[in-house]
């Protein structure tokens, strides 16, 4: 098999690219898809998938039962947004159902046969952006006996499913400063970790339709200025220069920060994972936590389906899955998982600079580095749950909302839709710090669908706080603790979109 042979003609993926992916530790179809980009073009894997399956089998990268096709995401044929806009919208209802009917993030055949190591100073549960960034930062501070447990492949959870938006335009001082620091860290990510994350600072353009939302925007902008974020309030006429193709009908006010932007989420995880591994951190994928051994008010061991791990400290960074894990040790977390759907279109030449979001409805869309329009819109009627299928009602809602704002997008074809879980807390703020009654269980979840952009800064501060003994050195880990929900003094973040 020639190394130069093309495996995926849509994306120019070669046999050599598959070999590199395997050499970097990506051994399952979903991971290799993400690392190489095969199967993400217009044909959606029709011509390449079985070829990759053969490659994995022939090279003995996987046994045949470990070779599964990647999730066949709708549409199976590129379909214009204007066609989806003919679907009826079920108003004020949850987006029922989702395809595929069963997602298999954790497949038994992919589980490593060997047991996990029996001891680690720190066990981090969740190999998403939070857990991996923390592992890297801990190792940099000399805390290297760290083991990260991930039940699926890297990028299986929300970290691999988000739209890649990063912004400083937040509604509370804590979030603004975290996001600012994160964007600084993103700018040097390639230098620090040797992998491109394709940060493109095209700005975020927020739009307000109602007077109430415009007022909220004005308030937030004042706060941004206090913290050195150069958000500019704009009339719809002025904003037309930023996105000339867009309709500004019924828009009252706009806010634009040119330093916000978009990144490509997946390399972020791989970068942190590679960086952490080089420093001695262990990362175990396809490994599930099944329970805990607790004595004298401390977690002594983390139980997994590949054996027990004795440890000093446990960090719960499992995103929307955190409440499920916490339940195993009788800790009740107030987070609730909420499905948020998203889609991606055919790749087009650059035409859209900023990420645009209507603050009233949660509609957002941007153009990725590869040229796709990537966008979503939350449904406030979506019930809590870990359903991650794709619905047709989302297509109906999103395509109508997008074509209202960007009418020519009606002729653009959708290539893929998928869903991820927002990890929603009662005040839209994260849960950090020690767990009451179980001091060596540290919380790191509840980022309400926006954790990706916060992770570099949060992990940096959390590693420093842990290195200093988890005391009161950083107010972040006393302000956002689990017990705040009992005291009832909550500071609400309301610049949540999606």
Partner 1 sequence: MRRLPQSPRKGAAITVELDGEPIPAIEGEPVACSLLAAGETVFARSVKYHRPRGPTCFESSCSNCLMRVDGAPNQFTCQVPARAGMRLERQNAFPSAKMDVFASIDWLFPKGLDHHEMFAGVPVAENVMAKVARHLAGLGLFPKTEADPRPALEVIRIPVCIVGAGAAGLAASSVLSDASVAHWVVEQDAHVGGRFSLRDPAASKDWKAGPGATVALRTQVVGLYVDAEGKFLLALTGGTRQRLVKIYARSYLLAAGGHSPLLPFENNDLPGIFTAHAAAVLLRREGLLPGSAVAIVGESDAVDETKRLCDQFGVNTVLALGTEGSRVDGGIVRAHGPTHVRGITVTVGAGSKKRVDCDAIVVAMPPSARFELARQGGARVAFSERHRGFVVEANEDGVTQVPDIFVAGDVTGPKSFEQARAQGAAAAKHVVARSEQVGAMR
| Binding residues among 80-99 for partner 1 as defined by CB under 8 A | 80, 82-88, 90, 93, 96-99
192 binds partner 1 (CB under 8 A): yes
Interactions with partner 1, residue window 238-257 (CB under 8 A):
245
Half-sphere exposure for 218 (CA within 13 Å, toward CB): 9
194 binds partner 1 (CB under 8 A): yes
- Shortest distance, position 402 Cβ to partner 1, whole Å: 12
User: Which DSSP state fits 55?
Assistant: H
- Shortest distance, position 13 Cβ to partner 1, whole Å: 8
For 86, 213, 382, 418, the CA distances from 494, given in Å and listed in that order, are: 32, 10, 18, 25
Interactions with partner 1, residue window 9-48 (CB under 8 A):
9-12, 14-17, 20, 35, 41-43, 46-48
If residue 19 lies in a helix (H) or strand (E), which one and from where to where?
helix 15-23
Label residue 319 left, alpha or beta by phi (over 0 means left) and psi (-120 to 50 means alpha): left
- Shortest distance, position 113 Cβ to partner 1, whole Å: 19
258 binds partner 1 (CB under 8 A): no
Interactions with partner 1, residue window 395-414 (CB under 8 A):
403, 407-413
- Shortest distance, position 466 Cβ to partner 1, whole Å: 27
Measure CA 36 to chain center: 19
Q: Give which of 49, 81, 75 is closest to 412, Cα–Cα.
A: 81
Return the number of other C-beta atoms located less than 10 Å from residue 230's C-beta.
11
- Shortest distance, position 17 Cβ to partner 1, whole Å: 6
Interactions with partner 1, residue window 428-487 (CB under 8 A):
none
Residue from 23, 60, 102, 332 binding partner 1 (CB under 8 A): 102
User: Which DSSP state fits 321?
Assistant: G
**Total binding residues toward partner 1, as defined by CB under 8 A:** 97
Give, in degrees to the nearest 5, the angle at Cα 190 between 187 and 463: 75
278 binds partner 1 (CB under 8 A): no
Interactions with partner 1, residue window 332-361 (CB under 8 A):
346-352
281 binds partner 1 (CB under 8 A): no
Which CB atom, from 55 or from 204, has the smaller least distance to partner 1? 55
Which CB atom, from 107 or from 288, has the smaller least distance to partner 1? 107
Show the site string, 286-325: x = touches partner 1 by CB under 8 A, - = not.
Answer: ----------------------------------------
Write the DSSP string, 436-488.
TTEEEEEEEE--TT-HHHHHHHHHHHHHHHHHTTSSSS-THHHHT-TTHHHH-
Return the number of other C-beta atoms located less than 10 Å from residue 180's C-beta.
19
Interactions with partner 1, residue window 53-72 (CB under 8 A):
53-55, 57-58, 64-65, 67-69, 71-72
Is the Cβ–Cβ distance between 360 and 75 less than 8 Å?
Answer: no
- Shortest distance, position 434 Cβ to partner 1, whole Å: 36
Q: What are phi and psi of 302, to 5 degrees?
A: -105, 125
Which CB atom, from 95 or from 423, has the smaller least distance to partner 1? 95
198 binds partner 1 (CB under 8 A): yes
Angle between helices 129-140 and 265-278 (to 10 degrees): 30
- Shortest distance, position 379 Cβ to partner 1, whole Å: 13
Q: Mapping DSSP to helix (H, G, I), strand (E, B) and coil, where does residue 299 land?
A: strand
Alpha helices in 250-347 (DSSP H): 265-278, 322-327
6 binds partner 1 (CB under 8 A): yes
79 binds partner 1 (CB under 8 A): yes
164 binds partner 1 (CB under 8 A): no
For 32, 220, 265, 269, 450, the CA distances from 153, given in Å and listed in that order, are: 10, 38, 14, 11, 21
- Shortest distance, position 450 Cβ to partner 1, whole Å: 24
Q: Give which of 47, 42, 52, 44 is closest to 19, Cα–Cα.
A: 52
């Amino acid at each position: 098999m020639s190394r130069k042979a093309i495996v995926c003609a849509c994306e120019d993926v070669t046999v050599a690219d598959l070999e590199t992916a395997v050499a970097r530790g990506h051994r399952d179809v979903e991971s290799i898809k993400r690392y190489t980009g095969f199967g993400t073009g217009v044909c959606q894997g029709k011509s390449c998938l079985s070829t990759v399956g053969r490659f994995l089998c022939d090279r003995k990268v996987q046994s045949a039962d470990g070779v599964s096709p990647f999730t066949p995401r709708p549409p199976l044929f590129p379909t214009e947004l204007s066609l989806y806009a003919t679907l009826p919208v079920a108003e004020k209802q949850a987006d029922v159902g989702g395809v595929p009917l069963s997602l298999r993030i954790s497949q038994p055949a992919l589980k490593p046969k060997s047991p996990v190591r029996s001891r680690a100073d720190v066990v981090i549960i969740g190999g998403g952006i939070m857990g991996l960034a923390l592992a890297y930062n801990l190792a940099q501070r000399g805390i290297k006996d760290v083991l990260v447990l991930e039940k699926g492949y890297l990028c299986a959870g929300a970290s691999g499913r988000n739209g890649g938006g990063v912004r400083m335009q937040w509604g509370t001082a804590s979030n603004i400063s975290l996001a600012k620091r994160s964007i600084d860290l993103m700018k040097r990510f390639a230098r620090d970790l040797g992998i491109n994350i394709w940060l493109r600072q095209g700005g975020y353009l927020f739009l307000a339709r109602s007077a109430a939302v415009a007022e909220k925007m004005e308030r937030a902008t004042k706060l941004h200025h206090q913290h050195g974020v150069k958000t500019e309030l704009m009339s719809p006429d002025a904003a037309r220069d930023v996105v000339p193709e867009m309709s500004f009908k019924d828009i009252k006010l706009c806010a634009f920060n040119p330093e916000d932007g978009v990144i490509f989420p997946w390399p972020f995880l791989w970068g942190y994972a590679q960086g952490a591994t080089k420093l001695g951190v262990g990362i175990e994928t396809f490994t599930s936590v099944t329970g805990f051994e607790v004595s004298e008010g401390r977690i002594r061991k983390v139980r997994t389906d590949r054996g027990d791990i004795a440890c000093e400290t446990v960090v719960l960074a499992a995103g929307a899955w955190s409440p499920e894990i916490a339940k195993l040790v009788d800790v009740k977390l107030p987070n609730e998982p909420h499905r948020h759907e998203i889609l991606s279109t055919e790749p087009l030449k650059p035409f859209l600079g900023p990420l645009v979001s209507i603050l009233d409805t949660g509609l957002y869309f941007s153009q990725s580095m590869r040229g796709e329009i990537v966008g979503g819109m939350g449904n406030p009627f979506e019930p809590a749950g870990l359903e991650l299928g794709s619905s047709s009602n989302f297509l109906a809602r999103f395509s109508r909302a997008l074509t209202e704002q960007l009418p020519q997008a009606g002729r653009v074809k959708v290539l893929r839709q998928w869903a991820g879980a927002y990890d929603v807390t009662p005040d839209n703020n994260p849960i950090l710090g020690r767990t009451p009654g179980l001091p060596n269980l540290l919380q790191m979840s509840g980022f309400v669908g926006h954790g990706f952009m916060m992770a570099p800064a949060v992990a940096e501060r959390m590693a420093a706080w842990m290195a200093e003994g988890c005391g009161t050195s950083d107010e972040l880990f006393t302000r956002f603790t689990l017990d705040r929900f009992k005291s009832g003094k909550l500071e609400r973040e309301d610049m949540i979109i999606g």
